[in-house]
Amino acid sequence: MAAKARMLIFLGDGMAGRPLPELDGRTTLEATDTPSFDRVASEGACGMLNPISPGVAAGSDTAHMAILGYEPYEYYRGRGPFEAKGVGLEVNAGDVAFRCNFATVENGEVLENRAVIDRRAGRIKERTDELRQTINQQIPEIDGVKVLFKESVEHRCALVLRGEGLDEHITDVDPHAEEPTDYHECKPLPGYEEDEAAKRTARIVNQFVERSRKALNGHPLNQAREADDLKPANIILPRGVGTAVELEPFAERYKLSGALIVEVDLVRGLGLYLGMDVVTCEGATGGDDTDELAIAASVVSTFEDHDFVLANIKAPDLGGHDGNVEQKIAAIQKVDRALGYVLDNMDFDRAVVILAADHATPISVRDHSGDPVPAAFFGYGVTPDDVQSYGERACAQGYLGHFCGSDVMSILGNYAGAGEKYGA
């Protein structure tokens, strides 16, 4: 059935939270003046969204998977494939993929030395494509497994292993430490010590790391960097492993032309993995300085040739992670302004939006939490309720009750007339 209305999922990343004494027991959302949020809540249908299920703190990837209707407990096997896809690597079902960093190991030529003195290789910015070419030439395969490798921005890169008998139940190589720390040997996860595929995959990862050292040590770019007193990118540290699974493309599943406008690479990679159009928006920085009106304008213009858009503004999550009330409030105001622009420039007699967050990032937690987040549907087909403002406790009184991330596409499709009847 063709949809009767356009569909928009509009997310303030990590926007929900918990009450704070310094805000007289209000959450940052409750304490912030958000006229556009409140308009949507008061004219629409509200409820509470558990991104995964009650109490479970979602990552960016699992939250967006669930909200797009791909049940993470069924389909999620690690972030690596989305990272690799975001970097532009080809990823096939069955591949094992990793996010990686170019990093600096002390005395690169001494293989026994494993001390990482900078896990971002001096935040290297340029000419990493030359390093990639060397890696691709020197490490085309390991033990019959095809090796795909590509650089991203700055120190970031990604790795794909393609072959039989691989498994993602292995540990990170990256030590995740700012101080000099030995990088880890990749090992099967506890419980997988005797798993042949996990053992083999760990062996291949360790060989890749060692061979990356040999390939990059003395590389012309690194010689130039050392001459300039810059840290050499003389090792590649994999982490965030995942196995690529078969996911039905978004367009096939929903018969919708869908686009993502998001500021997080991982979510962008998920969108690419689902075959969605990932729109690049000039001015979307992913930081507190992002141009929220540019994002809003991009949402409006993307609907010119799409039925469905998911937009996510990252800033509120940053304030939550930083535990900074003023920062988070300013970011929430940005999201509200962006929504205001969308409300002013789209016809909601022919569109329906859900305003929500992908998860809570409470100031008091400084990380994602498993709290429910407020949600408000507004526009075509929606039954308004009595909720008058958008906030954690206000929306809990709404008509839609509590629902899960994986219900969002069904509820949105129901309002938009895009759902198919299940049964006769």
Closest CA to 176 of 240, 107, 84, 85: 240
Smallest distance, a second copy to C-beta of residue 122, A: 25
Which one of 71-79, 124-132, 179-187, 209-217 is the stretch in contact with a second copy (CB under 8 A)? Answer: 71-79
Among 232, 319, 398, 405, binds a second copy (CB under 8 A): 398
How far apart, in whole angstroms, are the C-alpha atoms of residue 230 and residue 295?
36
* Range 169-198, binding a second copy (CB under 8 A): none
Among 35, 180, 286, 417, binds a second copy (CB under 8 A): 417
Smallest distance, a second copy to C-beta of residue 214, A: 30
Which one of 19-27, 149-157, 166-174, 339-347 is the stretch in contact with a second copy (CB under 8 A)? Answer: 19-27
Rule CB under 8 A: say whether 369 interacts with a second copy.
Answer: yes
Rule CB under 8 A: say whether 323 interacts with a second copy.
Answer: no
Strands, sheet with 258-262, edge to edge from the N-terminal-most edge strand: 277-278, 258-262, 308-313, 6-12, 351-356, 373-379, 45-50, 402-404
Site pattern 249..288 for a second copy (x: CB under 8 A): -----------------x----------------------
Rule CB under 8 A: say whether 413 interacts with a second copy.
Answer: yes
For residues 240 and 265, the answer to whether their CB atoms sit within 8 Å is: no
For residues 170 and 201, the answer to whether their CB atoms sit within 8 Å is: yes
Among 32, 34, 36, 60, binds a second copy (CB under 8 A): 60
Closer to a second copy by Cβ: residue 319 or 374: 374
Smallest distance, a second copy to C-beta of residue 372, A: 7
Both tokens assigned to 106: 């002390």
Rule CB under 8 A: say whether 57 interacts with a second copy.
Answer: yes
Closer to a second copy by Cβ: residue 65 or 342: 65
- What letter represents residue 157's amino acid? C
How far apart, in whole angstroms, are the C-alpha atoms of residue 268 and residue 235?
26
Smallest distance, a second copy to C-beta of residue 136, A: 26
3-state per-residue secondary structure call for 9-25: EEEECCEECCCEHHHCC
Rule CB under 8 A: say whether 150 interacts with a second copy.
Answer: no
128-138 vs 196-216: helix axis angle to the nearest 10? 120
Rule CB under 8 A: say whether 79 interacts with a second copy.
Answer: yes
| Torsion on CA atoms 315, 317, 320, 321, rounded to nearest 10 | -110
How far apart, in whole angstroms, are the C-alpha atoms of residue 142 and residue 159?
13
How far apart, in whole angstroms, are the C-alpha atoms of residue 361 and residue 328?
10
Closer to a second copy by Cβ: residue 60 or 243: 60
Among 6, 27, 89, 363, binds a second copy (CB under 8 A): 27
Both tokens assigned to 67: 């909200």
Rule CB under 8 A: say whether 419 interacts with a second copy.
Answer: yes
* Range 286-315, binding a second copy (CB under 8 A): none
Among 59, 180, 286, 323, binds a second copy (CB under 8 A): 59
Closer to a second copy by Cβ: residue 347 or 386: 386
SS3 call for 424 = coil
Smallest distance, a second copy to C-beta of residue 53, A: 6
Which one of 141-149, 198-206, 219-227, 389-397 is the stretch in contact with a second copy (CB under 8 A)? Answer: 389-397
* 294 burial level (CB within 10 Å; 0-12, 13-18, 19+): middle
Q: How far is CA 153 from the centre of its chain?
A: 16
How far apart, in whole angstroms, are the C-alpha atoms of residue 348 and residue 292?
20
Which one of 5-13, 61-69, 126-134, 306-314 is the stretch in contact with a second copy (CB under 8 A)? Answer: 61-69
How far apart, in whole angstroms, are the C-alpha atoms of residue 172 and residue 269?
20
Q: How far apart are the first and last CA of the chain?
A: 15
Which one of 47-55, 110-118, 206-214, 295-303 is the stretch in contact with a second copy (CB under 8 A)? Answer: 47-55
Closer to a second copy by Cβ: residue 61 or 118: 61
How far apart, in whole angstroms, are the C-alpha atoms of residue 360 and residue 368?
6
Beta-carbon count within 10 A of 17 CB? 30
Residues found near a second copy in the complex (CB under 8 A)? 18-19, 25, 27, 48, 52-63, 65, 72, 76, 79, 240, 266, 364-365, 367-372, 381, 383-386, 392-393, 396-404, 407, 409-414, 417, 419-424
